[in-house]
Structures are given as structure tokens and as C-alpha cells.
Amino acid sequence: MNDTIVWFQKYTTLIGGPAGATYLSDPFEVTAQNQINSEVFVVAATAAGSTAQVFGSSDMLTWTPIGAATPLVAGPPPAAIATVNPPRYVQLQVVVPIGVTLTLWAKGVARMT
């Protein structure tokens, strides 16, 4: 069974502001799945340097990065961010540097393989 995760709604604008900013999606429980493939569609970016990374937690108190941060650029999404055997909860973190504005849509598919 596949479950669709909407990390950030279509189309969300994130602003780095004067100090940069870190945005977190809502957490999702993925207990019944062992693989998540996420894609971030960047519609527009005023500059480079933004990244996306999946974080996981077993208790929603302590969050740990899963894999490496993926650079975000406008245009077709890079290869899907694959997360294998995630902990019970996952969320997506997007980091937007100082002065950058980023418009995106991020989704994932959680499945049992």
C-alpha cells in the first residue's frame, strides 16, 4: 500500500529573510512503510543555496537527519530523495539562505517494498 505525503503544499513560498530560515514540514507517521521517495519541485528561486533533507524520529522529541541534504534548484526535480527503513516519524526540512525566496511544492510516496 502506498501513502502520499505532502511535505509542503503546492505552491509554498519560503523566505530566507535577513538571517536565513529553516522550515519544517508537519511530521508524518510511516510505521507501516519501509521506503519513502520524496521530490521537491522548485518553481522559482531568487538565488542558489537552498537545501532539503528528511529527518526522522521514534518519539517526535529528538529528530535526526536521514541521508544528506539535497541542493534545490529551479526546474525539474533532481532524483528522488530515497529514505529506506525510516523511523516511526519523518518530516522534511528546507533551509533557505539569507535573502533568498524559494517557491516550491514537496511530496513523497511512502510504501512497503
**Amino acid letter at 8?**
F
Closest CA to 34 of 92, 88, 113, 90: 113
pTM for the full predicted model: 0.88
pLDDT in tens, 8-41: 998 999 999 888 999 999 999 988 888 888 889 8
Mean pLDDT of the chain: 89
Average of per-residue pLDDT across 41-49 = 89
Average pLDDT over residues 101-105: 93
CATH value at residue 31: 2.60.120.660
Separation of alpha carbons 2 and 46, rounded Å: 34
The range of the structural domain enclosing residue 23 comes to: 2-111
Average pLDDT over residues 56-70: 93
Look at residue 79 in the predicted model and tell me its pLDDT: 66
Domain count of the fold of the chain: 1
* d(C-alpha 70, C-alpha 92), whole Å: 11
DSSP string for 23-80 = EEPPPEE-TT-SEEEEEEEEEEESSS--EEEEEEESSSSS-EEEEEEEE--SBS--S-
